[in-house]
Amino acid sequence: MQQFDPMSASVDSSHQADSPKQGLFRFSREGCCTVRLAFDQWSFRVTPARLLLLAFTAAAGIIILLRLVLGLGGYIPGVGTITNLSDEWPWGLWIGFDVLCGVALAGGGYGTALIVYILHNDKLKPIARATLLTSLIGYILVVVSLFVEIGRWWNFWRPFVNWGYESILFEVFVCISLYTVVQVLELCEIITEKVFRMFHKFFVIVLPFLLILGVVLPTLHQSSLGALYLMMEGKLHQLWFSPNIFFFFLLSSFFVGPAMIAVESVLTYFSYRHLAPLHVLRTLARIGGCVMLVYFVLRIADLVYHGKWSLIWEGSFESYAFQLEIIIGLILPLIVVFSPLVNYRSCIIIYGFLTVFGVILNRMNVVITGMWRETGGGYFPSAMEVLVTVGLVTGGILAYMFLCENFNILGDEPHEHGNDKTESVA
């Protein structure tokens, strides 16, 4: 099976997805409901599903502008408040999902870079570019979310000049900012294959250094996000509070990476009929499963060591949320990974969705569920908070599709077809 080298200095233009001829803006029909828009060397397919994604993204953009003008507690007549955040709940859906979850789910980039480029597992190269792109888009959405979430957004520049050396959040800010820049530079190695080609050789030379930075920086801020909650002793429910919470955050950000790759493979299949090689998904699932098993054992051992095991069975809302997180997000995926089910593509995809859901649930439990009782005030995200979150995700999906259609993201790996029983697609 032919594999592509993401560090290659030249790419056959015949492998680039849908590269149109030079010319002015134009469109062409590709079916009853599909139109391809093109301008010069850029093109993008427009379908009803993509128009729906665009509508969500546009709605989120409008709400973000209103939030910046009216403030976090701004009121829109006939619609309601922009957010339900308050002094009791300064961190809500945007921090819980967009930042903590977004950072974790985008962790597939540094995990893949570590496995493929530093540990030299060349078998996984076919998915390297797509994974790094997804990670970059995820972090850009995180940066946007942070900008929207901070109260006095016009002061966003201050951490660049006023360094808070003793602040964990300052370390998170620096690492996320630097890592986003590093990922943009990594993407330039792909971009310059098509445009600004005179710089391509430079990015090929510096790419190994960027990849090393791209592994070191995330390990710092992934753990630091968990370390923030070391200050929440007495406020965060004991099922989630632990002196080792920073290490749990780091491990979960790593094993969710292979799961996200499995989820992404569904998008690329239905959008481009491109199947990620089954052996790649299986290898990644097993690597992620091994880290997940270590995480699971350490979580249980931590509860037992600190005398919290009985809290799981106390019958409270928090205990049920914890059980759901463990069963759906850990036990079921582990059963898939360490059984013959891992030989089936559909089962790997199920493993991916379960794992991703489990990590999202863990972060939301830490941010909201675990703080519910001690805070003493209820919080539920407003409709506009939810719409902004959905719109950011749909915007990321559209950006991913545009780059896949105009650059060599998916690579030269031949598309697979179901030739045997293990190639079944969900």
Q: Are 334 and 254 in contact (CB under 8 A)?
A: no
- For 196-214, b/e burial (b = at least 16 CB within 10 A) is eeeebeebbeebeebbebb
Q: Are 380 and 88 in contact (CB under 8 A)?
A: no
Q: Are 105 and 256 in contact (CB under 8 A)?
A: yes
The CA R_g of the chain, rounded to the nearest whole Å, is: 22
Q: Mean pLDDT per segment of 10 residues, for the chain of length 426 residues?
A: 42 43 66 78 87 95 92 82 83 77 72 76 79 87 87 87 86 88 91 90 91 86 88 89 93 88 85 84 92 95 94 92 95 95 94 93 88 76 90 92 89 45 42
Q: Are 23 and 40 in contact (CB under 8 A)?
A: yes
Looking at residue 11, its pLDDT comes to 41
Q: How far is CA 62 from the centre of its chain?
A: 23
Looking at residue 419, its pLDDT comes to 41
Which stretch of DSSP H or E encloses residue 81?
strand 80-81
Q: How many CA atoms lie within 13 A of 255 on its CB side?
A: 29
Cα(18)–Cα(42) distance, integer angstroms: 9
Q: How far is CA 172 from the centre of its chain?
A: 17
Q: Which of 244, 251, 259, 174 is nearest to 219 (CA)?
A: 251
Looking at residue 22, its pLDDT comes to 47
What interhelical angle do 128-149 and 383-406 show, nearest 10?
A: 150
Looking at residue 249, its pLDDT comes to 92
φ/ψ (deg, to 5) at 132: -65, -35
Q: Are 284 and 116 in contact (CB under 8 A)?
A: no
Looking at residue 77, its pLDDT comes to 80
What does 351-363 look like in DSSP terms, one character per residue? HHHHHHHHHHHHH
Q: Which of 256, 212, 218, 251 is nearest to 101 (CA)?
A: 256
Looking at residue 208, its pLDDT comes to 87
Q: Are 153 and 283 in contact (CB under 8 A)?
A: no
Q: Is 221 helix (H, G, I), strand (E, B) or coil?
A: helix
How would you classify the pairing of strands 26-29 and 35-39?
Answer: antiparallel
Q: Are 244 and 233 in contact (CB under 8 A)?
A: no
Sequence-ordered list of residues with C-beta below 8 angstroms from that of 112, at least 6 positions apart, any chain: 124, 127, 128, 131, 132, 135, 257, 261
For 105, the token pair is 């789910």
Give whole-number Cα distances, 229 to 143, 245, 347, in Å: 21, 8, 35
Q: How many CA atoms lie within 13 A of 264 on its CB side?
A: 32
Burial of 44 (0-12, 13-18, 19+ CB in 10 A): middle
pTM for the predicted model, two decimal places:
0.81
Q: Which domains does the chain have, with CATH numbers?
A: 49-401 (1.20.1630.10)
Q: What angle do CA 299, 304, 305 make, to 5 degrees?
A: 95
φ/ψ (deg, to 5) at 16: -80, 140
Q: Are 295 and 251 in contact (CB under 8 A)?
A: yes
Looking at residue 213, its pLDDT comes to 87
For 219, the token pair is 């390990």
Looking at residue 377, its pLDDT comes to 63
